[in-house]
Chain A
Amino acid sequence: MLAIKYNLRSLFVRRLTAFATLGGVALVTFVLAGALMLAAGAERAMASGGREDVAVVLRSGSDSELASSIDVQALGTLRAAPGVAAPGGEPSVSPELVSVVALPKSDGSGLSNLTVRGVAERAFALRPNLSIVSGRLPAPGTNEAIVGRKIVGNFHGLEVASDGSGGEVLLGKNRPVRVVGVFQAPGDSAESELWVDLDAARSALGRSGLASSVRVGLASGADLAEFRDAVEGDKRLGLDVQSEADFLESQASGLASFIRVLGSLVSVMFALAAMLGAAITMHGAVASRAREIGTLRALGFSRGKILSGFLLESCALTLGGALLGVGLALPLGWVEISMMNQASWSEVVFGFEPSLRVLLSALGLGAAMGLAGGVAPAVRAAWLRPLEALRA
């Protein structure tokens, strides 16, 4: 191996061209890291809060709560099903009505879809991670509503004033609901929803006697199979059962993989250009150092040592760029964006989520660019004939 210092210092000698390559690689890894962080953020915001001991019941064949509709008559069967937890003697079963309403955005950009969830009191017990961050819980059976912390202020009327008087949102003709509180529920897309009373939602949306989904608290996660067999086994019900964790993940996976695939595709194409940039730099470095390389060979350094030395130089260049790119991407962690999730036809808000996986992927791409771009010049350097090189 050559002295590492020799290769590293030679990068410094050619500052301008080394910097240009570094910048190109940094930009590519910035794009990749940004996309991966965003996909991870989508998954974390929407899916990480799902529980194994809560079952989500949908109509058979429906892949989202929006497309599902369950008659309340099925609730009796669900309450009596095996495995259902019953704290205080009351079975832990929560019918929920989910819909999307078009509301004016507060930034004046027109209408956008907001998910509205009608819930009974039981819904809160099934979500222990849900808590009020300002205002208060709605009184049951009234037109009071609470809003997820991610969308507070995004839509016209979705806010709570400091004196406790909230904004009003029209769910239907003459059917206003009044926002009395803001809630958080980390890792659940509910943070991008408006929650109203179940009966108020039913009457405003004209869906009496219906629920979109039913959440069922189980005695333990191990009871899921037994509960599922009992419910899905009853063909007359026509219902599907899955754990809340699986359900939330299935709702998030479409959006997350869309971002991930698109981001990776774009950065791989970008990487091609940046890799050529690295190749140009290394090619120039080898060409202008022919005499130095000849001297090294004459001094007895083997071809392998020259080869690895130049590959190392190339990788140091691109890895440096990759680190810079990741470093620039990290502050994105403070940014939150709002995107439409096709699974729910409504907006969800999420941020960029830094993780070790993101760092490793970006560094991997950087190293790959360095190796791919550096291999031809390094081979050229290693196979220079010492005598000819010295005469150059």
Chain B
Amino acid sequence: MIDTDKRFKRTASKFLDELTIKFAGDSGDGIQLTGQKFAELASNSGETVKTMPDFPAEIRAPVGTLGGVSGFQIRTGTDSIYTHGNKLDVLVVMNPASLKRNTDNLKENGIIVVNQDTFTEKNLAKAGYEQNPIDDGCLDAFRVFPVSISKLTLLALKGSGLSRKEMDRCKNFFSLGLICWLFPKPTKEVEHWIAAKFKNSSLLAQANLSVFQAGWNYGETEELFATNYRISNPELNERPAGSSFVTGNKAIASALVKSARKAGIKLFLGGYPITPATEVMQELLKHQDKDVIAFQAEDEIAAIGTALGASYTGALGATCTSGPGLALMGEFINLAVMTELPLVIIDVQRAGPSTGVPTKTEQSDLFQALWGRNGESPIPVLAASTPQDCFNVTVEASRIAIKYMTPVIVMSDLYLSAGTEAWVEPELDDLPEIAANFFAKGEGYAPYRRDLETLARSWAVPGTPGSIHIVGGLEKNGESGAVSYDPDDHEQMTYLRAKKIAGISNDISLGRTYGDKDAQLLLVGWGSTYGAIMEATEQLQASGYKVACTQIRHINPIPNGFGELLKRFDNVLVIENNLGQLWMKLRAEYLLDLKKLCKVQGSPFNVIEITTHVRTILTDESLAVSEGEAL
């Protein structure tokens, strides 16, 4: 293997605070693998890394078309990195279509590494280029490095015994090798990784390794690049032992298992495949044991129905879906409201009504989560703000569901589900206390008798003597639990259910507010806008603005003191990937004239969109808006 450290001495490195790079190619080009590996290498070097894949909606769109472009974006750096970045420093493209799709996102003077072998007339036409962009001058704003990645890959594998097709499939390792030279990463572990990944075929392992080395050597010997780039002092953020990359979906799966374990009960997850939530179910199906039951149901109704049945018999029932699935689950969520059984419902939001834009992100299910059911149906709604935070919020939702005997909705979204960051999976000891209030034994059991503090009923599980009872969706008498259509009983129960949920506000804490105490403007967000809002706040502060920000974790009920917090600021800007759903709730709740900033393009906010808007509000146009300098 290459002794990178020795050989690097020959090249003068430039040092960067951060780097945003995207690998893009046809969906069969192994882009996701290459990107994820580069991210891991960066993280292992102690850098802070955020990633975001960009999949085509079709499983296999026609080769070479714009619809078939797959991408993987990585942002890495030393300072606080909160998002996967907006404008790219470097774009590595494997075909014309992927160039076309991503050029707009490149910084001026940014680097494009192009696999020029794929720029044939046919492929150019598929991508909609009339001339070859490599030499027609349309990329003059960038630094373009055409490399014969396909040919050099074949050359490196001459005599390897692989078919031409198999050889061609190794070419992503060439680009990985080249990028690992351009942005030096500890390549030793690539060797181990390739060996492990292709353990069933030493031929393929050797081939991919050779191609990786060829890519690295190409950077080293061709002197195409005057310099290579390192992140300054990454050891400042040394990656803790035992850490790995986690997506929001994997963090949710882990949190469900740990929450149930912490409560000493089984976990039951009922699921049904739906983008972008499916991974949670798949993850749990992989890790089933006697205390972790995952179940692929016949539809979303059955997914939540089985979960509620499991809760009824003493497990932590959970389900995971996206907006269209949540729409189908409304009836069962209400049955959980009426029967007062714990249930955790995860909504990994995607864009639009109906089928909408299944592979794009949005935050437009908030109204549905809060109010999308018949009758007065209050339930807690929580929102996760980062892939790692999906763990914390799911644990908190489980704690509330079990303690208060109620369904709870956790809002995640496609951005969090697919984005990754390095984390160390929390241990059981790191979790808060989660205690189920099981009815054990005693005289005179009444199913709807309540704990006076939490207003929660006890959990009497079938199999327990002395607490035989029936639950159901019909209204009841508050004390006996007997079915009742009496007007007073209904009113009393309606208020009781509302009071129980409202009371949770005493048991949750107000999130942190970052920034200036005497800020002129408070940015308020929920969910995955966290990263962009944090960065925007830091950037605005750096340019002399007095701003602060806070991210709401508990959307219902809102923690005590939040109204007072809002009132402290002259300007409050609510930032959402919808048309103002939280904004409307906050205005209704606090009678304050809040402003909003909305984006519904299926993509997260860019920091600059927020900073520009805030500058406009604060009517100070004197400071120039910059996208950041190129490398």
Instruction: Indicate, yes or no, whether A interacts with B.
Output: no
Give the B-binding residues of A (Cβ under 8 A): none
Give the A-binding residues of B (Cβ under 8 A): none
